[in-house]
Amino acid sequence: MQDTSAGGATLTDILGEMETRYPGVRSYILDEQGSLRKHVNIFIDGVMIKDRTTLSDPFPDQCEIYIMQALSGG
């Protein structure tokens, strides 16, 4: 797990900052329309976000945001 601090008023802002630090990471998280990819989940202080399309879920300062990719296969 990578622990990285980032700032921003929205999840989109935070993902933009992450993209600056780690070029290409946003394409693993968001699809071509900017929505959360099907097998990716974002948790804010342990609660999964509800808005997977516009990423508008509110969050407090100093919260923990986890981005997790679901594993699938057989």
Domain boundaries, the chain: 11-69
The more confident residue out of 49 and 1 is 49
pLDDT digits (tens, 9 = 90+) for 3-60: 778 888 889 999 999 999 999 999 999 999 999 999 999 999 999 999 999 999 999 9
| CB contact at 8 A, 4 and 21 | yes
Q: What is the pLDDT of residue 16?
A: 92
pLDDT at position 26, please? 93
**How big is the CA angle at 32 (ends 2 and 57), to the nearest 5 degrees?**
60
Q: What is the pTM of this model?
A: 0.85
- Band of pLDDT at residue 1, cut at 50, 70 and 90: low
